[in-house]
Amino acid sequence: MESLAGKVGQLMMVGFEGLRPPRHILHWLASGRIGGVYLFARNVASPTQVKRLVTDCRAAAKQPILVGIDQEGGAVARLREGFTESPGAMSLGAAGDLQLAEDIAYMMGRELAALGFNWNLAPVADLARQRDNPSIGTRALGRDPQLVSDTVAAQIRGFQRAGAAATAKHFPGLGSSVIDTHDAPAKTKGSLNDLFQEDLAPFRAAIAADVGCIMLTHVIYDQLDAKRPATLSPRIASGLLRDEFGYDGVVCTDCMEMKAITDEFGAGESAALAIEAGVDMVLFSHTRAAQTAAYEAALASARSGRWSAERIDQSVRRIRMLKRRFPLDDAPPIEIVGCDAHRSLAARAARAGLALLRQGEALPLDADSAQVGLIEFSAPQAADGAAAEVPSQFAAYLSRRLPGVKCVKIDPSSEAANRTADVDSMARVADRIILVTRNAHMQPAQLQSAQLVCERARKVILVCARNPYDAGLLKGADTIICTNGDSKPSLLAAVDAICGETIPTGKLTVEI
């Protein structure tokens, strides 16, 4: 019979630093103190290195474990160089092709399985309800509940058919918040009718698709529980998700080291509260001290009778069922990772996700086009580093096709006055300017400089490389292309469109 300490350990999922598992992680796996690990970009150097790391973790474990990663595609993808990058969720939504969305998820899932992952913390089931949401953006498929529901179900089918448990996140919906829970507690006061009719619809679809796991968000929903975030709320984790929706799969937290949790509850008590609320797996992404505090507090709570033995057994049963369901028995060879067929599929999906909002006389461009300039705003750093893991290569991609292009890259965090000279000089000299913005709608300095380009340049080809909302604010562009995300295949697709090799057919899934 498994000890109580071993059962509590099954509920603990942790991250760590480095390209190899630290000694304490191997010890925890061997002793059953954790039920699995999940990786970040900080753990990734190459496919063979990742495979070796995962293999070492599995070899150390005394029983089957979950090995997870956030591989949504687009802005949040921990596996990039050497792997197959895919377009993000909003691009898939814009493509409007459910089979394509399932095929992309299956491709990503097969690469995960080849590396030893049996758990993907994707897809995002949130609606793009709030343009100023700092953490969702193009990670969402769109605004329409039906579109999002249908596409989330397709993604789940793809991931899980490939051998990786999917995770619908962030229950009961993160789309209405304007605060990033990495930075601070967030609260939403939306009506219950909106929540049930809109935000929760994709999660119902995920449950109907037999999703392996559902992740709770750290947002407080006043109409459901005015005191505790969803992660720690029995009303949401047990009452809404279990009792009302009938979901009996695994429920996990978002990272418990985000400030929305740590600033008020601390590691130990937050872990105890989450399990008390009905959570099965508690995720601590970063520090050994927080992970230790969480485990010790959870074990102390179990020993004290704070939860019944039956409560712990319920979670252990669900977790073991998930592991048995995704055993990776038929994992493909590592050679499929980054293969030509996968890259070709990602390129096709990225092209299908391009939206052409306005077509003027500025396109197409070719190697003989004279006086072409590029003004590109670099990617703003996301709270968890996810959206800026790899610097944009748009200028490099464009220069291969248009060797004479003159490029200016601008850091959006610098003051607008410091950029005026570069912007003004380029706008006066170039015959046509390609203007690449990234979430200018949330950055007044970037918006001001981008509008200056539109006003002073002869012809502007506006490429909205993140959220498409910039297109609704910038006036005077001759041509407008929305990539709906700026992963490598989406940027390459934009270059193809600029050079006349593809005509964008995607449809925006948000109102601008």
* pLDDT bucket at 415, cuts 50 / 70 / 90: low
- Domain chopping of the chain, boundaries: 11-336, 354-498
User: Sorting pLDDT into bands at 50, 70 and 90, what band is 179?
Assistant: low
**What pLDDT score was predicted for residue 5?**
94
Least confident of 116-120, 234-238, 355-359, 363-367: 363-367
Which range has the worst mean pLDDT, 272-281, 300-309, 347-356? 300-309
Confidence at residue 182, expressed as pLDDT on a 0 to 100 scale: 59
Burial profile 405-443: b = 16 or more Cβ within 10 angstroms, e = fewer: bbbbebebeeebeebeeebeebbeebebbbbbbbbbbbb
pLDDT digits (tens, 9 = 90+) for 456-491: 888 999 999 999 999 999 999 999 999 999 999 999
Of residues 80 and 420, the one with the higher pLDDT is 80
Model pLDDT, residue 473: 96
Higher model confidence: residue 128 or residue 367? Answer: 128
* The two structure tokens encoding residue 103: 């095929």
Cα(484)–Cα(469) distance, integer angstroms: 10
CA–CA distance from 146 to each of 151, 177, 215, 327, 377 (Å)? Answer: 8, 20, 20, 32, 33
Task: Residue 199: name the closest of 285, 129, 275 by CA.
Answer: 129
- Taking alpha carbons only, the member of 110, 176, 123 closest to residue 149 is 123
Average pLDDT over residues 401-413: 85
Residues 11-336: name the CATH superfamily: Glycoside hydrolase, family 3, N-terminal domain (3.20.20.300)
Secondary structure letter of residue 43 according to DSSP: G
Share of the chain above pLDDT 90, in %: 75
Nearest to 203 by CA among 284, 136, 123: 123
- Comparing C-alpha atoms, which of 327, 321, 346 is closest to residue 113? 327
What value does the mean pLDDT take over residues 120-130?
95
Q: Which of 9-23, 122-136, 411-425 has the lowest mean pLDDT?
A: 411-425
- Is pLDDT above 70 for 387? no
User: Which one is predicted more confidently, 129 or 185?
Assistant: 129
Q: How far does the chain reach from its first CA to its final CA, in angstroms? A: 58
Give all strands of the β-sheet with 432-437 in edge-to-edge order: 355-358, 479-482, 459-464, 432-437, 372-377, 406-410
Q: Does residue 133 register a pLDDT over 90? A: no
User: How far is residue 180 from each of residues 95, 135, 189, 252, 285, measured CA to CA in Å?
Assistant: 28, 6, 16, 19, 17
What does each C-alpha distance from 353 to 127, 159, 305, 438 come to in angstroms?
18, 20, 53, 17
Round to whole Å and give the CA distance between 108 and 103: 9
Cite the active site residues.
Answer: 182, 254
CA–CA separation, 79 and 72 (whole Å)? 10
**pLDDT reported for residue 16:** 97
Average pLDDT, integer, range 123-133: 92
Of the pLDDT bands very low, low, confident and very high (cuts 50, 70, 90), residue 384 is very low
pLDDT at 141 exceeding the cut of 80: yes
CB 78 within 8 A of CB 44: yes
Is the pLDDT at 304 greater than 50? The verdict is yes
- Asked if the model's pLDDT at residue 8 lies above 80, the reply is yes
Low-confidence winner among 14-18, 180-184, 268-272, 308-312 (lowest mean pLDDT): 180-184
CATH for 354-498, options being 3.30.460.80, 3.40.50.1700, 1.10.3720.10, 3.40.50.2300: 3.40.50.1700
pTM of the model: 0.94
Q: Tell me the per-residue pLDDT of 224-265, one tens digit each, with 9 for 90 and over.
A: 998 999 999 999 999 999 999 999 999 999 999 988 787 888
Peptide bond into 327 cis (omega under 30): no
SS3 361: coil
